[in-house]
Structure 1
Amino acid sequence: MNNTRLYKKTLLAVTISLASSLTAQQALAAGFQLNAQSATGIGRAFAGDAVIADNASVMARNPAAMALFDKMELSLGFESITSMIEVKDAKYKGLGAPSAVPISDTDDVGSTSIAPNIHLIVPVNDKFAWGVNAYSNFGTKTEFEDDYVAKEYGGTTDVKSFNFGLAGSYRLNEQFSVGAGLDLIYGQGTMKRGNPGIFGPAPHALNVDKADGWAVGFNVGTVYELDENNRFGLAYRYSPEFEAEDDKGQKITLPLPDIAEFSGFHKIEDTKFAVHYSIQYIGWGSFDKIKFRNLDATASPIGQLDGGSYDKAYKWQDGWHYAIGGTYYLNNDWTLRAGYMYDTSAQDSLTSISVPDSDRQWFSAGFTYHIDTASNIDFGFTYLMGDDVKVEESLAGGVTSLTATTHADAILMGLQYSRSF
């Protein structure tokens, strides 16, 4: 009984920490999807993560995989996220200007933040298990200096969501398991843009500050076990259109993408090596625009479009992740892993400096140290390398325009403690 109370207190403490640490999450996958559910996943570029089930964090990718555990499992940890975003070779055509002029490069748009997570799986019997978790699934932040010349394109963009999940799994037979979960999503968004042609202090053309709200999604999945060394997982997550409101009654409507993932895991018989892989679909095609309503009446033309509303068009395309990795079970104390992911860009014909995006490559490595037979510590490291992207933006009617090149890299590091009971 005392241990049960301890587990509940631990879960509550980390959940509160996650909800209250509204840090500057960065866009780490295409669009602004975050992959920060576990240190083990970071260490293998999330290859096979919907079915490997080496700790409780698997429930964030596939609820059916909870059926693979016969003991209560707890995993808790955090990821540090350092993004390096550069905007260079920019040319800006201001109000009434006859032609575009060069503006200074900036390489301090990104920052470092911390994303905690917790996952708990509780088997009830040999058929049924349930679990709860908390982590961040989406987030991005770019923040340009107040004196950035093209302030109607730069400004501040800060969007983040926190996922609180409850899920269950059921083992149909020795091969098949199914699972489903409910996601309670808390989100927060800030979007600020300056007035074109106005320098120094002035009302923002767009100023939605810390708008927040709740939404509900769900996830389903299945696992097929060919034998003890080979298994496959398939999962789908529905993400709702999310609406947030700030203290001034201004609203942001933000469509979030659905996600589908297929994973495989194969331990080579009579060896210490396993190979695993994932293909993930992200429905960024639904992210056509961010809607803003009830804007400040003192706003400039970019905030007065359509009678006091402003819709920022993005028109993204669906994205894909292709990941492959390997795990080497060195001995009873150490497990080593590595992975590679190719991550396709969500941006299509429209690009922007406020949410820079490109095709990206993940180079990942990590390890597990087994403290004893019931507990372990995981560490994961990823260097995420993006491409140069040409950006062209303009206000309605070509009032002002901007061309530039963006480049975004990132470093992810994760530390995690897991224990079975």
Structure 2
Amino acid sequence: MYKKRLFTKTLMATAVMLASQQSLAAGFQLNSQSATGLGRAFAGDAVIADNASVMARNAAAMTLFNAPAMSLGLNVIDTDITVKNSQYTTPFGTSSLDDDQIGGSSYVPNLYYVHPVNDKLALGAGIYSNFGTKTEFSDSFAANEFGGLTDVKSLNLTLNAAYRLNNQWSVGGGLDIIYGQGKLQRSNQTLEGLVQQQTGVAGPLLDVDVDGTALGFNLGTVYELNDANRFGLSYHYSPELKAEGDMYAQPAGGNLQGQKLLMPLPDMVEFSGFHQLNSQFAVHYSVQWIEWSSFDALKTNQDVTLNDYQWQDGWHYAIGGTYTVNADWTLRAGYMYDTSAQDKKTSISVPDSDRQWFSGGFSYNLDSKSTLDFGLTYLMGEDIKATEQTTATAISATTRADALLYGVQYSRSF
């Protein structure tokens, strides 16, 4: 009886934590803007400009086109996420939980168009995604106050312009209209029953279905040393997205109708280089910085804080090569080392670690103006010890997140 009273007395603080531990699983960045980029681990993507998708990484590179160009593609992300060796602790004791698979498939389309106005000015528009993730624990997972469903998607509409200053320098930039949508659910029948007993209010621990739109921008530059060597630098400002919809967090405010969920997104800076070593072989590389430390807290516009985070800035380091076999076929490959956004605070529902990308792909020229591209990446994570706790419950487990990414793309010049 004492343990039950202790359990009940701590429910208020517990449910606040339950509603917040993994509320922005979409904090993971999506590198899936094109099939060509996927096939080289996005090495050099801010400056290569082999199709119109380059505007997603650096608008200034649109000056490298001498004819209108269009790209249309689809990338698929199949995640293999395992939560194993779980130890679940409540005031009634500690128990081992069965392993759970929480991965799934995500489909990320993209569309780009570049239109050179003259030999100096180019305009472009694109639709793609920078952020998104999905994890879903089975209903039988006992610790679903830490698991549940996290399904977040984003769509970026970009409107860009680029201008050639001289033979070496080009600049560019534009607006990013970002639409985000999220569904977040956390549940536990025992905890929900005790919350109802304590407060007289019945409801899930967390049930959020929101969406919103925000305005960002991007800036970039390209320096062409000569025809065979060039460098690119770009900056993406990501705004704080204010999402509206149905929000219920028990008992952290209960029904949060009328409030907005504030989701800070990270700024990004990327440097890329491209070097055509001979008529057939080129090497390229990129370094990207992602300001995940800006994701400090998840709260509403009425200052209801759901959780404080201790994320750290992330880095991507990528190198790749492109080999032109003949007039019809081009092969590419790349490697990326991608650092984790999480630092001291870890999670079972947002399994994160340093990751390695092993990528390959090809292009086939259907004719002089049309190209079909294919890219494939195996993303390999690491085993990470994740621990989470509230004032009433705790869980420790080993998580591992691997993924297979593949994409197809059609590009055409006019």
TM-score normalised over the length of structure 1:
0.86
Distance in 1 (alpha carbons) for counterparts of 2:214 and 2:289: 22
Q: Tell me which residue corresponds to 2:314.
A: 319
2:100 and 2:141 in contact (8 A); partners too: no
Distance in 2 (alpha carbons) for counterparts of 1:348 and 1:205: 26
Q: Tell me which residue corresponds to 1:265.
A: 274
Q: Tell me which residue corresponds to 2:37.
A: 41
| Counterpart mapping for 1:293-332 below 5 A | 309-332=304-327
Q: Tell me which residue corresponds to 1:136.
A: 129
Give the counterpart of 2:347 among 327, 352, 363. 352
Distance in 2 (alpha carbons) for counterparts of 1:317 and 1:280: 14
User: Aligned pair 1:277/2:285, yes or no?
Assistant: yes
Q: Give the C-alpha shift of residue 50 in structure 1.
A: 0.1
Q: Give the C-alpha shift of residue 250 in structure 1.
A: 5.0
Q: Give the C-alpha shift of residue 292 in structure 1.
A: 4.6
Give the residue type in structure 1 aligned to 2:181.
Q
2:60 and 2:171 in contact (8 A); partners too: yes
Distance in 1 (alpha carbons) for counterparts of 2:227 and 2:376: 29
2:297 and 2:305 in contact (8 A); partners too: no
Cα 1:44–1:27, aligned 2, differ >3 Å: closer, same or farther? farther
1:293 and 1:310 in contact (8 A); partners too: no
1:194 and 1:203 in contact (8 A); partners too: no
Distance in 2 (alpha carbons) for counterparts of 1:85 and 1:153: 15
Distance in 1 (alpha carbons) for counterparts of 2:262 and 2:399: 26
Give the residue type in structure 2 aligned to 1:206.
L
| Counterpart mapping for 1:54-203 below 5 A | 54-94=50-90, 96-97=91-92, 99-107=93-101, 109-195=102-188, 197-198=190-191, 203=203
Q: Give the C-alpha shift of residue 345 in structure 1.
A: 0.4
Query: Identity of counterpart residues, as a percentage?
Result: 61
Give the residue type in structure 2 aligned to 1:412.
L
Q: Give the C-alpha shift of residue 160 in structure 1.
A: 1.6
SS state at 1:58 partner? helix
TM-score normalised over the length of structure 2:
0.87
Number of aligned pairs?
Answer: 374
SS state at 1:197 partner? helix
Q: Give the C-alpha shift of residue 102 in structure 1.
A: 1.0
Distance in 2 (alpha carbons) for counterparts of 1:365 and 1:59: 22
Distance in 2 (alpha carbons) for counterparts of 1:377 and 1:314: 42
Cα 1:328–1:116, aligned 2, differ >3 Å: closer, same or farther? same
Q: Tell me which residue corresponds to 2:260.
A: 251
Instruction: Provide structure 2 residue ranges, at least 5 long, that are not aligned to the other structure.
Output: 1-23, 197-201, 247-256
Give the counterpart of 2:334 among 324, 335, 339. 339
2:142 and 2:188 in contact (8 A); partners too: no
Instruction: Provide structure 1 residue ranges, at least 5 long, that are not aligned to the other structure.
Output: 1-25, 295-305
Distance in 1 (alpha carbons) for counterparts of 2:380 and 2:308: 26
